[in-house]
Structure 1
Amino acid sequence: MNKRAGISLNASSSTYEKQNSLFTAYWDDFNIITVMIHETASESLSFRLTDGQDWLPVSNIRELENEPVNQTIIQLQTVDPLNAGQEYFVVDQKGNSCLLLTGKVVRTEEFDRRYAYQKDDLGSILNGDRTIFKIWAPTAIQVKLNLYDKKQNFLRVLDLVREENGTWAHEEPGRLEGNYYRYLINVNGRWNKAVDPYAKALSVNGEFGVVLDLAKTNPPGWNPFHKPEFKNATDAIIYELHVRDFSIQSQSGMVHKGKYRALTEKHTKGPLNTTSGMDYLKDLGVTHVELLPIQDYGSVDESAAFPNYNWGYDPTHYFVPEGSYSTDPFDPVQRIKEVKEMVAAFHENGIRVIMDVVFNHIYIIEDSSLEKIVPGYYFRYDKGGKPSNGTGVGNDTASERFMMRKLMVDSVRFWIKEYGIDGFRFDLMGIHDIETMNVIRREIDEIDPSILMIGEGWNMHTILADDQKAKIEHASKMPGICHFNDRFRDAVKGKLFNQNDQGFATGNLFVKDQIVQCIMGSTNTLFSAPGQSINYVECHDNHTLWDRMLISNSFEEELIREKRHLLASALVLLSQGIPFIHAGQEFFRTKYGVENSYASPDEINQFDWQKKAGESRSVNYIKGLIQLRREHPCFRLQRKDQIREHLTFYEYCPSLLIYKLHHLKEIDSWNEVVVVHNAGIDLKKIQVDPLKNWHVVVDNDKAGVTALYSLEMNEITVSPLSTLVMYN
C-alpha cells in the first residue's frame, strides 16, 4: 500500500460536507471508489468511507498512475458492495469530506443486472379514480414531483417512494387529467428539475409533462391497426417528406401551412389547377411516406407565432409529437389529435406512414432529463470521462444498456399502438448495437411483421466495439432490417464526399459492374435478401441530385442533366430492393445549392408546387415507373434465389446495361421483361428475338403499363440517356 494512501481507523465525524476543494470521490464499480486529489499533497493522506451512520470497511487502497502529475488518484476497494440510492461520504484524516458521486458504476453490466426494470408502467397513468406516477431513478436519494393545474399554477409537492429495481412511485387520489407535472431528483448532492422521459403529453416547448387520458385524443372511428394492406418489404415505394416543407409554400393550395393538418386536407389545388397535397401523393402512387422527425425536438421555439425552421434531428422527448407542426402547441391534446388525424388520412388514401426516429443522441446532454435523472447512464463516455461523439452533435446514447434499449423499444411500441405508425427510419443506426436493433425487430414482429425497419447503417466512430455496431456491413446479422444502400447511391451519381465525382447515370461508365450488383439488390455483396436494400440517389441530407449535377455536370446543357436525372430515378424504381424517393425528386428538386439545409429558411426547403406544375412530363414519368413496379412483381422479387433464377444480364457495350427478367409464369402476368439503361450520349440499336411479340412500356420520358408501341422488327433503338422497358 502506498504510504500516501495510508488509512487511519481512529478519525470520526458526525457531520459531513458534500464537497471540498481538496478532493472529489466517484463510485466507479460496486466495490470501487476513485478519489481525485486536486493538488499535490505534501503529507500522507488517509481516507475513510461512511454512510453517515457507520464507518464502512475498506479492504484495499492504492495509488493509480495518472497525468497530469499535479493530480493524485487514489482507488479504494470496499469489503461489501455499495448500493445505489444511498448517500456515502469519503472523509480524509483531517475530517475533510465529500459526497461520493455516481461515476462509472452506472455503465457496468452489474448495474443493469441489479437495477434493470422490465415492467411497462413508467410515466403517469390514470387508473380509475387514482393517478399513478412512476420513474426509474436508481441513483437518486429522493424523488419529488411538483404538481401544477392546467394553467401551470403550482399546487403541491408529492413525495415518491422507492420501489423495486430503482423505481420511484406515488399514487395520488383523484384523476389528475390535464394537470402539469415535473420531477425533482436528488442525485449527486443536488436537486435536478426533470421532465418525465415517459411523459405521453407535454406543455409548449416540453417544459412540463401533462397527465392525459389518451383515449380522448382519438379521432372519430380511430383504429391504429386499420391500415393499407402490405405484405412484403420489396412492395414498398418510400417517399421522404418533411411536414412543414410540403405545405408551407403560398401556392401549395393547403390551408394549414406547415402543419400536420395540411396533410389531412382534401381536393387541394396548386398552380395551374394541378393536384396538390394528399391527393397528389395518392395519385403519384407511393406506398409509404417517410416523415422527417415528428417526435418532440428542441431546436424550434414552439411558442413563436412564426417558428424558425429545422429538420428536427434534435430530440428531447420520445413519446410525444413535435408541437411546432400543431395548430395549437399550447394545448397538450391538440398535437396528439392532429398526428392521429394525419395518420388516419394517409391510411384512408392507401399510404402507410414511416416516422424518422432519432434515438442515437439527445439535443443537449446537459439539459437532458435522462442525464438529470440518472447521470452518466444513458450515454457513452470515453476513457477520459468525456461523452462519446460519434454522432457529431455532442453525445451518443448507449443503446446497449438495458434501460436505454427499453426506452427505444417502449417508444416504438407506443407509436405503433397509439398512433398507428407503419415503419421506422433509424437515424444514424450505426451508433446503435446489433442486439438492440434485433430486439426491436422481434418486438415489432409480435405486433405486426409488415411494419418496416430501415436505417442508416453507417460506420460511426462511437465508443462501441466494431462487431456490435448495427452497420451495413453487418446486415446479415440483422434480418428484417433494411439499410440505406450507399453503394447504390454512389454508383449511380458519384461518391458522396467528392462532389465532382460521377456515377453511371451522370457519365462514369466504369462503374457499370457496381450497378449490376445494385440492380440485384446487392444480394451478392451486402444483403441476404433484396428487401434489406434501400435504393436511393437523394434524400434530405446533402445536395439534391439536381444540385449535385450542377457541380459534377456543370458543363452540360440543362436538357442533358434532366435526362440523366430521369435515368437515375429509373434505376432506383426498377432495381430489386426497396426504392426510396426524396420529395420533389420527381420534378428535379433544387435547394439552390445548399448542401445541408437543416436550418435553412422555407425559401430553400419548401416543396415547390410551382415547379411541380411546370414539370408535368417528368412527374408523369416517375408516376408511370411507380405504376409499373406496383403492378408487376418481377421488379420486386423477395429472395436472393429468385433473383439468381429470374434475372440475367447481357453484355453489349459500355454505355448499355441490359438485363432480362424471365421465366415469370408463376410470378407475373408477363412472360419476359427486358430492361435497357443507356447511360451514353448516343443512340444504340439492339437485336431482339423476332419470334416474340415485344411491347414497349417505357421509352424516353414516357412510362407506364400500357404499351407505347409494339416491335415489328427484330431491332429496337434506345435513345441516349434513357431507360427502355419491353415485355412479351
Structure 2
Amino acid sequence: MGKLSYARAHWVARSLIAWDVNVEDTICYLYASKSATLFLTEDGIEGHDMKIQVEQDIFGLPLKVIEKFPHIADYKAFKIPYSVDIKSLLKCQLAIASFSENGKCSDATGLQLPGVLDDLFSYSGPLGAVFTREAVSLYLWSPTAQVVCACIYRDPSGGDPLVKVQLDEANGVWSVNGPRSWEGCYYAYEVSIYHPGTLQIETCRVNDPYARGLSADGERTLLVNLDSDSLKPQGWDELADEKPDLPSFSDITIYELHIRDFSANDKTVNPEFCGGYLAFTCEDSAGVCHLRKLRNAGLSHVHLLPSFHFAGVDDEKEKWKHIDDNRLATLPPDSDEQQAEVVAIQDEDGYNWGYNPVLWGVPKGSYASSPNGPCRTLEFRKMVQAINRIGLRVVLDVVYNHLHASGPLDRNSVLDKVVPGYYLRRNADGCIEHSTCTNNTASEHFMVERLILDDLLCWAVDYKVDGFRFDLMGHIMKSTMVKAKCALFSLSKEFSGVDGSKIYIYGEGWDFGEVAENGRGVNASQFNICGTGIGSFNDRIRDAVLGGSPFGHPLQQGFATGLSLQPNEHDQGSKPVMDNALATLKDHIQVGLAANLRDFVFTSHKGEAVKGCEVLTHDGLPVAYALCPTETVNYVSAHDNETLFDIVSLKTPFEVSVGDRCRINHLATSIVALSQGIPFFHAGDEMLRSKSLDRDSYNSGDWFNRLDFSYQTNNWGVGLPPKEKNEKNWPLIKPRLADSSFKPLKSHILAAVDNFRDLLKIRYSSPLFRLRTAASIQERVRFHNTGTSWVPGVIVMSIEDGYEGMPGLSQLDPIYSYIVVVFNACPSQVSFVSYALRERTLQLHPVQLMSSDELIQTSSYESHSGCFIVPPWTTSVFVETRKSD
C-alpha cells in the first residue's frame, strides 16, 4: 500500500506533482502536517492539518520538467489548485495518497521537493556572512525551515552564546543584521525543519553552507572577512601580476601532489610546518628544491589533493595517534604487522586524502598551524603565493559530486540539515544515491549549482587558485561545468584581481551510476564534455600502456609492461592472441599521443585509415572523444590505484631486473610527457615512488604514502599493504615484496629524476609537442610503424614543422623543423627502417645526448637508409635542426 518513509512522488513545479502511481479513475489527495504527525492506515493518511485533492493532468509532464528530470519522464502528472498556499505547505511533512473507486487507499508516499523549490525559491542574492562598514549580515537559504536562529559565540568551542537571534524570512531566505563587532566571533545556526530522514520536525545545529572560516573540526562557523588586510600576505594583492606565464593551455603540465605527503617526512622542513600549508614557504627544503628543479625543466602546475574542510582527520594535531616508525622499519618487507598497526589508528592519525567533503569553501584546519581563528586562510594564501613564486601555478582538487554525511544528527552533515532532501540526489524511492561512494549531490538543482559556482569563484578570487580538478566530474551536469568555465573565464585582473582566461579546469568524466547515459540530464562525461574546452582524464592511454584496467586482473599486461614481448605468469591467451592485443593497444596509444582527438585520422594496425573515434575499447566504446587537444589529460598513474613503479613491478615477469623496471617506468612516463594534450603526473613517479603495492592508499597513513625528496628510498617493501583493499592480492604481492632485488637503489632513483627532467626539457624544447588545435595535430603528427607489417612493441611518431613561405604548413618552431620519437617497449634493441623518413638530417635530441643515461646515447639514425636503432625499453627523440638562411 506504500510507505511514508519513501518519497516516490516528485513535486516538480509550483502546481504540479509527478507520481508513478498505478491509477486510472481514482482520486488522489495531498496531505500536510506542520508538526509531522502523518501516519498511514488502511483507510488512508491520518494526522494531517490539510488535505487537498489533486487532479491528474491528461497532458502529462511538460517538456521543461522532463528535460530537468528525465528519469521521471513517464510519471503521471497531477495538478494542485492554484488557491493553495504552496510556500507554507512546503514547510510541512507532506504525503500523497491514491484511492480506488471503493474508497480504499491503494498507494501512498512522501514527496521529493527539489523541483518546486527551484520553481518558487531560486535565488541569486547574498548568502553567508556579508561585511559592511556598519554591520555583519547573515543570509541563509532554507525555504522549508520553520524557524532559524543564529547563536553567536566569542570562543571556538564551549561556553554560552553571546547572543541568540532569530532570523527573518523573505521568500525562503533567512537573514539578520548584526553589529560590526561580530567579526572574529563564531556562530552556528539552529534550524527547526521537517526532515524526511526521521519523519520528524528536527532542530538541527548546523554551520553556514557558505562558511569561509571554521573552528576546529567544524564546531562553529567563523565570521571572517576575507578582504581584511590582516589576512593577506605581503604582496598578495599584486600576486596576479606575479603569476607564472601561461601562453596557452596547451603549455600545461600537471603534477598531482598531496599536501601532507609533500612535507610530512621532509627533515629539511621546519618541524612546525611539516605536513601543512607553510611547508611550501620553506625555500631551501628538499621538497621545494625538487619542485624548483621540475619547474626549471618545464613543469607548469601543481595539483593539490583536497584541501577544503573534510572529515577523517581531526583538526587538532595533539589528538592524533602515531605509529612507531622505528619499530616498523625493523619488520620484514612482506610482513602484515605494519599494515595492522597503521590500520589500527588510521581514523585517528593525521592522514587522509580528503575526498570526504563537509564544507567546500573553507581551507582544511589540520594543514594549518592552528585550526581556530583565521590562521588557515592566511596560511593557504601563503602556500599559493609560495608555489607561484617557485614558478608554478596551483590547481585545487574539488569534490562537488558527493558529501561525507547526511541526515539531521551527524555533525558533518550541513547541507542536508539546511534544506533536507534538496542538495542530495535521490533514487526512485527517495533514498540518497551512493554511486560516487556516499551522498551524491545534485547539481541539476538550481541552488546546488549556484553553491558550486559561488565556491569556485571564492577559491579563484579570494585564494587566487589557478585551476580546478573535478572529482567524478561525470556526476555533475554538463551545463554546470560550462557555467563554471564561463564564470571563471569572465574574471579579470581589473575587476577581480584574477585573470580568469588562465584558469584551466578538468576532471574525471566517468559515466556510471544513476547519471549514466544522461539518466539525470546531460552530464559532464567524456563524450558529452567535448567541445567545451574542459579537460577530462584519458583512461584509454593509461590502460593501453600498463595493461588491463584498475578493475581487471592485476597481472594483465600492456604495451610497456611486456604483453606478448615478455609475458608474465598470467594466462593472457595464445601468442597470436597476445600479438593482436598488443597491436590493438598500440593503436590506442597512438590515438592518445594525438591528444585522443575524435577525428584524428591515422593508419591502424589492420592497415586501414581510421578516425580516433572509430578505434574501439574492449567494451565497444570509442577510444577518442576530444575535439581539441586541451580536452585530453593523458596519464598513466594518479593517486588512485597503484603507483607507476608498483604497477610495473607487479605486471612484469619476476626475471626482469630492477634496472629494467626503472627503464619501463621511464618509458611509460615518456609516452605521457611527449603526447599532445595535457600531460599529468602523480607526484613521486619521477622518483620511482612505491606504496608497497597498496592499490588505494587514501587512508593508509604516512607509512605507505611516504615521499622522500632526499632520494634515499622509494618506499618499496615497507610491509604488506592494508588488508581491506589489498588482501585478495596478497599472494601476488608477498613474494615480490620479499624479494630484495625488486627494491631500487638510490642511483636508480637519481637516474629516474634526471630522466623525468629530461622529458620535461624535451617537451618544452619545441612547440611541436604542444600543438594548440586539432587541425594542427592532423596536419603535423604522423605515425610510421603502422599497418599489418609493423615491428611489434615499437611506436614511431613524427611531428613536422613548416618553413617560411611554405604553403599549407606554417612555421611554429624556430629551432627544429622535424621531430621523430621512437618508443621501444621491447626487451631488446630494435632496428626500424622507414622509407618515408629517409634522407633527413635527424640527430638525437641535445638533451638526450647530454643524458646521464648512457644507454640512450647509443640510439642512432642513418639518413641514407632511414634506419633507426633504439635500445631496449627506451624512448629516443630525434630532431632535425632548422637550416639557417
Deviation of 1:56 after TM superposition, in Å, equals 6.7
Change (3 A) 1:79 1:365: same
Give the corresponding residue for 1:656: 794
Give the corresponding residue for 1:674: 820
Between the aligned partners of 1:281 and 1:549, the Cα distance in structure 2 is 23
Deviation of 1:587 after TM superposition, in Å, equals 1.7
Deviation of 1:263 after TM superposition, in Å, equals 0.8
Does residue 501 of structure 2 align to residue 488 of structure 1?
A: no
Selected match of 1:472 from 523, 526, 536: 526
Between the aligned partners of 1:700 and 1:686, the Cα distance in structure 2 is 20
Structure 2 counterpart SS, 1:397: coil
Equivalence map 1:204-283=2 (5 Å)? 204-214=216-226, 215=228, 216-223=230-237, 224-226=239-241, 227-253=243-269, 255=271, 256-269=273-286, 276=289, 278-283=291-296
Equivalence map 1:146-545=2 (5 Å)? 146-150=151-155, 152=157, 153=159, 154-163=161-170, 165-188=171-194, 189-214=201-226, 215=228, 216-223=230-237, 224-226=239-241, 227-253=243-269, 255=271, 256-269=273-286, 276=289, 278-283=291-296, 285-305=298-318, 306=320, 307-329=349-371, 331-366=372-407, 367=410, 368-392=413-437, 394-447=438-491, 448-462=500-514, 465-466=518-519, 468-476=522-530, 478-496=531-549, 497-498=551-552, 499-508=554-563, 509-510=582-583, 511-524=585-598, 525-545=624-644
Report the AA paired with residue 206 of structure 1. G
Report the AA paired with residue 84 of structure 1. K
Deviation of 1:690 after TM superposition, in Å, equals 4.0
CA contact (8 A) 1:102 1:375 kept: no
Between the aligned partners of 1:59 and 1:578, the Cα distance in structure 2 is 55
Deviation of 1:28 after TM superposition, in Å, equals 5.0
TM-score scaled to structure 2, two decimals? 0.71
Between the aligned partners of 1:371 and 1:593, the Cα distance in structure 2 is 38
Change (3 A) 1:695 1:558: closer
Report the AA paired with residue 172 of structure 1. G
Report the AA paired with residue 693 of structure 2. G
Selected match of 2:119 from 113, 117, 141: 113
Deviation of 1:549 after TM superposition, in Å, equals 2.1
Deviation of 1:91 after TM superposition, in Å, equals 12
CA contact (8 A) 2:355 2:399 kept: yes
CA contact (8 A) 1:311 1:599 kept: yes
Change (3 A) 1:26 1:174: farther
Structure 1 counterpart SS, 2:360: coil
Change (3 A) 1:192 1:502: same
Give the corresponding residue for 2:60: none
Deviates more, 1:419-428 or 1:188-197: 188-197
Structure 2 counterpart SS, 1:618: helix
Deviates more, 1:614-623 or 1:351-360: 614-623
Change (3 A) 1:77 1:713: closer
Change (3 A) 1:700 1:377: farther
Between the aligned partners of 2:625 and 2:705, the Cα distance in structure 1 is 33
Structure 2 counterpart SS, 1:191: strand
CA contact (8 A) 2:784 2:797 kept: yes
Deviation of 1:317 after TM superposition, in Å, equals 0.8
Give the corresponding residue for 1:70: none
CA contact (8 A) 1:658 1:674 kept: yes
Deviation of 1:692 after TM superposition, in Å, equals 2.2
Between the aligned partners of 2:415 and 2:795, the Cα distance in structure 1 is 52
Give the corresponding residue for 1:124: 129
CA contact (8 A) 2:637 2:682 kept: yes
CA contact (8 A) 1:103 1:376 kept: no
Deviation of 1:174 after TM superposition, in Å, equals 3.0
Report the AA paired with residue 354 of structure 2. G
Between the aligned partners of 1:88 and 1:629, the Cα distance in structure 2 is 62
Change (3 A) 1:79 1:205: same
Give the corresponding residue for 1:15: none
Deviation of 1:389 after TM superposition, in Å, equals 1.3
- Please list every run of 5 or more consecutive structure 2 residues that lacks an aligned counterpart in the other structure: 18-29, 58-77, 97-107, 195-200, 321-348, 492-499, 564-581, 599-623, 715-745, 804-810, 881-885
Between the aligned partners of 1:594 and 1:449, the Cα distance in structure 2 is 39
Q: Deviations over 1:122-178 (max 9, x none)?
A: 111221121100010011111110111135432111111112x41111011333111
CA contact (8 A) 1:618 1:701 kept: no
CA contact (8 A) 1:47 1:90 kept: no
Selected match of 2:757 from 623, 627, 634: 623
Change (3 A) 1:261 1:49: same
- Please list every run of 5 or more consecutive structure 1 residues that lacks an aligned counterpart in the other structure: 6-20, 63-74, 93-100
Between the aligned partners of 1:638 and 1:625, the Cα distance in structure 2 is 20
Structure 2 counterpart SS, 1:596: coil
Change (3 A) 1:550 1:85: farther
Change (3 A) 1:26 1:373: farther
Deviation of 1:611 after TM superposition, in Å, equals 2.8
Change (3 A) 1:89 1:40: closer
Give the corresponding residue for 1:96: none
Change (3 A) 1:698 1:60: same
Report the AA paired with residue 531 of structure 1. T
Between the aligned partners of 2:258 and 2:276, the Cα distance in structure 1 is 10
CA contact (8 A) 2:294 2:757 kept: no
Between the aligned partners of 2:818 and 2:79, the Cα distance in structure 1 is 75
Does residue 713 of structure 2 align to residue 611 of structure 1?
A: yes
Report the AA paired with residue 660 of structure 1. S
Equivalence map 1:125-144=2 (5 Å)? 125-144=130-149
Deviation of 1:694 after TM superposition, in Å, equals 2.9
Deviation of 1:699 after TM superposition, in Å, equals 5.0
CA contact (8 A) 1:24 1:37 kept: no
Q: Deviations over 1:647-681 (max 9, x none)?
A: 11112512221121113441112110111111112
CA contact (8 A) 1:238 1:579 kept: yes
Q: Deviations over 1:217-258 (max 9, x none)?
A: 110110352311113222111000000001111545554210
CA contact (8 A) 1:625 1:703 kept: no
Report the AA paired with residue 692 of structure 1. T
CA root-mean-square deviation: 3.1
CA contact (8 A) 2:5 2:110 kept: no
CA contact (8 A) 1:268 1:279 kept: no
Does residue 779 of structure 2 align to residue 727 of structure 1?
A: no
Between the aligned partners of 1:77 and 1:265, the Cα distance in structure 2 is 64
Structure 2 counterpart SS, 1:413: helix
TM-score scaled to structure 1, two decimals? 0.86
Deviation of 1:627 after TM superposition, in Å, equals 1.4
Count matched residues: 672
Report the AA paired with residue 290 of structure 1. H
Deviation of 1:294 after TM superposition, in Å, equals 0.4
Give the corresponding residue for 2:615: none
Report the AA paired with residue 259 of structure 2. V
Structure 2 counterpart SS, 1:468: coil
